C-alpha cells in the first residue's frame, strides 16, 4: 500500500495532530540521540492502539512501543517502521481505596506523587525512576530495595494481534529485570498497584531522601541513561 494511504489511515484513527512522519527520535530519548522514525504515533486509548496494530499487521509494518525513552539507544539511521509512544496521551491515574489504576504511559514519579497524596505507602522506591509504568512492568523495575513485583496486583496487556488479556501478579513471572510481558512480547496497557495506608510525613520524607541520593550520583541535567551497573 502507498505511504500516503497508510498515513491517511493513521490520521483517520488518531487525528493528524497525533501522527508525525520522519520524526527525529533524538527528541524522545534521554540519550538525545536517534534518527527519524518513518511514522511516529501517539494514541489516546486502547481502541486507537488496537486499530494501529491492525494497520501495521495488514501492511506488514514493523512497530516499536516507546515510553519515556529512558535507557534507549536509537541508531542515527532512525527506525524503518512505526514508533507508537504510550506516554502523555496514555497516562491516566485513578485511585480507589488502596488500589491505584495506572495507564501504561504514566510516569512512575507521577504515580508515586499520587500515592503520597492519597497517604499510601509502597511506591516510594519508584519516585525517582525516569520511566513509565509500561516499561516498569515489563522489566520489573526497582531501586533502593523495592521493585514492581512488591506492589503489582494485576496488569492488562495486548498481544501482537491486539487481543486484550488481564494477568494477575502471579501470572507475570516477575524476576530480576524481566517478566512474561517481556518474554511473550506483550504490550502493557494498564496496571493495578496495591499499596498500604501510610503516614504522609513519613512517605514524603522517604521520597525526598531517595531523590537526594539519586540526584547526588547522577547527572540528570545532561543527556544520559541515568545509571549503569555491572552485576
CA 169 to CA 154: how far, in whole Å?
A: 5
Specify the 3-state DSSP secondary structure of 146: strand
Beta bridge partners of 158: 164, 187
Q: What is the pLDDT of residue 227?
A: 61
Contact 74, 29 (CB under 8 A): yes
The arrangement of strands across the sheet holding 152-158 comes to: 93-96, 99-103, 187-194, 152-158, 164-168
Calculate mean pLDDT across residues 159-181.
94
Contact 144, 138 (CB under 8 A): no
Tell me: the pLDDT tens digits for 182-224?
999 999 999 999 999 999 999 999 999 998 887 777 666 677 6
Calculate mean pLDDT across residues 153-166.
94
Q: Does the pTM of the predicted model rise above 0.85?
A: yes
Tell me: the pLDDT tens digits for 75-99?
999 999 999 999 999 999 999 999 9
Q: What is the DSSP string of 51-106?
A: HHHHHHHHTT--EEEESS-TT----TT-EEEEEEE-SGGG--EEEETTEEEEETTS
- Share of residues in the chain with pLDDT > 70 (%): 94
Q: What is the mean pLDDT of the chain?
A: 93
Q: Report strand pairing: 164-168 vs 152-158.
A: antiparallel
Q: What residues contact 78, with CB distance under 8 A and at least 6 apart? A: 22, 24, 25, 34, 35, 36, 37, 38
Calculate mean pLDDT across residues 118-123.
98
Q: What is the pLDDT of residue 61?
A: 96
CA 108 to CA 193: how far, in whole Å?
A: 12
Amino acid at each position: 500500500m502507498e505511504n500516503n494511504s497508510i498515513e491517511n489511515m493513521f490520521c483517520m484513527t488518531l487525528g493528524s495532530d497525533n501522527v508525525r512522519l520522519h520524526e527525529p527520535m533524538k527528541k524522545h530519548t534521554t540519550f538525545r540521540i536517534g534518527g527519524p522514525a518513518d511514522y511516529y504515533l501517539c494514541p489516546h486509548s486502547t481502541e486507537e492502539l488496537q486499530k494501529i496494530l491492525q494497520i501495521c499487521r495488514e501492511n506488514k509494518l514493523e512497530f516499536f512501543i516507546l515510553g519515556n525513552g529512558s535507557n534507549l539507544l536509537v541508531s542515527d539511521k532512525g527506525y524503518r517502521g512505526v514508533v507508537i509512544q504510550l506516554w502523555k496521551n496514555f497516562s491516566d491515574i485513578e485511585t480507589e481505596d488502596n488500589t491505584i489504576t495506572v495507564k501504561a504511559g504514566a510516569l512512575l514519579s507521577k504515580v508515586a506523587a499520587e500515592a503520597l497524596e492519597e497517604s499510601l505507602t509502597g511506591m516510594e522506591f519508584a519516585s525517582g525512576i525516569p520511566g513509565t509504568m509500561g516499561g516498569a512492568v515489563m522489566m520489573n523495575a526497582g531501586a533502593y530495595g523495592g521493585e514492581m513485583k512488591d506492589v503489582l496486583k494485576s496488569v492488562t496487556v495486548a498481544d501482537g494481534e491486539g487481543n486484550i488479556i488481564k494477568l494477575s501478579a502471579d501470572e507475570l513471572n516477575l524476576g530480576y529485570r524481566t517478566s512474561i510481558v517481556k518474554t511473550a512480547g506483550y504490550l502493557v496497557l494498564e496496571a493495578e498497584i496495591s499499596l498500604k495506608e501510610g503516614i504522609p510525613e513519613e512517605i514524603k520524607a522517604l521520597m525526598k531522601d531517595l531523590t537526594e541520593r539519586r540526584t547526588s550520583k547522577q547527572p540528570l541535567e545532561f543527556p544520559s541513561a541515568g545509571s549503569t551497573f555491572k552485576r
